């Protein structure tokens, strides 16, 4: 995906401004890329529509070239569809908070129940796991094993004995709805502040499964119903999510098996179609393989352009477009380029220097790369110290800096007179260059950079 996008962006980057045709060409690529990542078709259509609208009306940024602006818009829209901010668990005003899990068989509910129990316990909660999956003979055992590993108690009928009793908690009948209800009641009595109800899934969506889940929901009045979905599910994500939305309804989503090579298209499909936020990502078989879901990180994963996005952020930070425009205007109006201006430019360069490593990836930055690669950040510190040791008069008019002033500045900045001389020479060159640019009428990008 990233290769193709990168190619498209490369095609765009030489143009000054995006035309409608340019945008549409990009949109076509993004559409294809999202479909490759297994995002559902209607979600792709809506998404690309949004991006197109925004790209057409985008304000031209001083710091980014048009291609970067499109990446930025795509990314922002993606984050938006994925839920914007991270959404955290909602706890009940009066304990216990009831969290019910729903999803297909094999989605990762039981595994997630253990992880969530562990996670909550680490945060000082006292969760209770409830085994309301009585569909498969070993489902209860599986949850008990997971719970033990997590160090969290479990409420369950004794395995292999439908009328038996759990070692810790009382006898229950073999009806999942009753087990769930009794589990919540037990949590209340024993002052567990969170209850996690594991439920049964089927291989496919079916009536009976949905009715059972809805009955468990009605009996326990959960604060959160979390729909657990396998990230590898692909195009089926939409149908499955819709079925669970209609059959049980859910307040949030857990994306499981994100440790596989799924691009995460399912994330966009589910949030795009149901509007429900993703709360957690399950990323492995170990108890600790659980992450709070971050829409921005997922967006990068879907686009597979994380590094480029980071770079864009840094470029915006480093390059203050307004400042550059001010400086250009100043030079063009014939005002002199001062040492203070020079210092500002050097500081901008230093900010750029911190992104040295990634420069090769940023489209349109090729010409700056060499200058920045040869740039020594400590140099800026030295220059800064020297300029700061000058009086305001000296900064405005460096011509007055004679021998004794040079010695004083060198002492004050902890450098040598040779350093001071070199700086003044560099500054004069930069100033000359700025004057030339001003005469030529051109707008300088970053003068002083060749220095």
| Residues contributing to the site for ligand GDP (CB under 6 A) | 103, 105-111, 201, 228, 256-257, 259, 282-285, 289
Q: How far is the CB of 109 from ligand GDP (least distance, A)?
A: 3
Q: How far is the CB of 230 from ligand GDP (least distance, A)?
A: 8
Nearest alpha carbon to residue 316 among 360, 355, 371: 355
Beta carbon nearer to ligand GDP, 52 or 257: 257
Beta carbon nearer to ligand GDP, 100 or 107: 107
Ligand-binding annotation for 48, yes or no, is no
- Consecutive H or E run containing 154: strand 154-155
Ligand-binding annotation for 110, yes or no, is yes
Q: How far is the CB of 197 from ligand GDP (least distance, A)?
A: 12
Ligand-binding annotation for 115, yes or no, is no
Ligand-binding annotation for 106, yes or no, is yes
Q: Which two tokens stand for residue 185?
A: 């009641």
Nearest alpha carbon to residue 250 among 404, 118, 104: 104
Ligand-binding annotation for 103, yes or no, is yes
Q: Which does 282 bind (CB under 5 to 8 A by kind): Mg ion, ligand GDP, none?
A: ligand GDP
Q: Which does 106 bind (CB under 5 to 8 A by kind): ligand GDP, Mg ion, none?
A: ligand GDP
**3-state class (DSSP) for residue 406:** helix
Nearest alpha carbon to residue 99 among 205, 208, 250, 201: 250
Beta carbon nearer to ligand GDP, 279 or 449: 279
Beta carbon nearer to Mg ion, 110 or 144: 110
Ligand-binding annotation for 330, yes or no, is no
Beta carbon nearer to Mg ion, 110 or 283: 110
Asked if 431 interacts with Mg ion (CB under 5 A), we say: no
Asked if 110 interacts with Mg ion (CB under 5 A), we say: yes
d(CA 3, CA 226): 35
Q: How far is CA 232 from CA 108, 259, 308, 315, in A?
A: 12, 10, 25, 35
What binding mask, one character per residue, do residues 61-100 give for Mg ion by CB under 5 A, x or -?
----------------------------------------
**Residue least distant from Mg ion (Cβ):** 110
Query: DSSP secondary structure string, 99-134?
Result: EEEE--TTSSHHHHHHHHHHHHHHTT--EEEEEE--
d(CA 447, CA 306): 30
Whether the CB-CB separation of 315 and 369 falls below 8 Å is answered with no
Q: How far is the CB of 139 from Mg ion (least distance, A)?
A: 5
H helices of 123-205, in order, are: 139-150, 176-189
Radius of gyration of the CA atoms of the chain, in A: 31
d(CA 372, CA 99): 53
Q: How far is the CB of 41 from Mg ion (least distance, A)?
A: 30
The DSSP bridge partners found for residue 20 are none
Q: Which does 108 bind (CB under 5 to 8 A by kind): Mg ion, ligand GDP, none?
A: ligand GDP
Ligand-binding annotation for 234, yes or no, is no
Q: How far is the CB of 322 from ligand GDP (least distance, A)?
A: 46
Positions touching Mg ion (CB under 5 A) are 109-110
Output the known binding site for GTP: 103-110, 198-202, 256-259
């Amino acid at each position: 995906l990233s290769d193709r996008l990168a190619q498209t962006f490369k095609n765009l980057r030489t143009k000054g401004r995006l035309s409608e045709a340019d945008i549409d060409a990009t949109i076509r690529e993004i559409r294809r890329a999202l479909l490759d990542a297994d995002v559902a078709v209607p979600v792709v259509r809506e998404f690309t529509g949004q991006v197109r609208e925004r790209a057409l009306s985008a304000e031209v940024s001083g710091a980014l070239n048009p291609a970067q602006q499109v990446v930025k818009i795509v990314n922002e829209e993606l984050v938006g569809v994925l839920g914007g901010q991270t959404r955290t668990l909602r706890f009940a005003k009066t304990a216990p908070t009831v969290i019910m899990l729903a999803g297909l068989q094999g989605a990762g509910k039981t595994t997630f129940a253990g992880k969530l129990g562990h996670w909550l316990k680490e945060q000082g909660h006292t969760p209770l796991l409830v085994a309301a999956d009585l569909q498969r003979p070993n489902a209860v055992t599986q949850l008990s094993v997971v719970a033990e590993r997590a160090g969290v108690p479990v409420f369950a009928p004794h395995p292999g004995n439908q009328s038996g009793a759990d070692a810790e908690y009382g006898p229950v009948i073999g009806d999942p709805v009753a087990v769930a209800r009794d589990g919540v009641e037990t949590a209340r009595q024993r002052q567990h502040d969170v209850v996690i109800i594991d439920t049964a899934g089927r291989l496919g969506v079916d009536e009976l499964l949905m009715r059972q889940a809805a009955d468990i929901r009605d009996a326990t009045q959960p604060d959160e119903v979390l729909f657990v979905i396998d990230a590898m599910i692909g195009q089926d994500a939409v149908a499955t999510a819709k079925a669970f939305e209609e059959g049980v309804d859910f307040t949030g989503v857990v994306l499981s098996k994100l440790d596989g090579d799924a691009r995460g298209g399912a994330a966009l499909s589910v949030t795009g179609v149901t509007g429900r936020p993703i709360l957690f990502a399950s990323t492995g078989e170990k108890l600790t393989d659980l992450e709070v879901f971050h829409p921005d990180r997922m967006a990068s994963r879907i686009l597979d352009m994380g590094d480029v996005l980071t770079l864009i952020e840094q470029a915006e930070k480093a390059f203050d477009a307004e400042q550059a425009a001010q400086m250009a205007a100043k030079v063009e109006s014939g005002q002199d380029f001062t040492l203070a201006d020079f210092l500002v430019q050097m500081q901008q360069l230093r900010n750029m220097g911190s992104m040295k490593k990634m420069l090769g990836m940023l489209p349109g930055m090729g010409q700056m790369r060499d200058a920045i690669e040869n740039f020594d950040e400590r140099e800026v510190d030295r220059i800064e110290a020297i300029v700061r040791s000058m009086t305001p008069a000296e900064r405005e008019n460096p011509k007055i800096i004679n021998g004794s002033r040079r010695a004083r500045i060198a002492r004050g900045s902890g450098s040598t007179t040779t350093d001071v001389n070199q700086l003044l020479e560099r500054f004069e060159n930069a100033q000359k260059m700025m004057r030339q640019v001003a005469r030529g009428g051109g707008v300088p990008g970053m003068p002083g950079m060749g220095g």
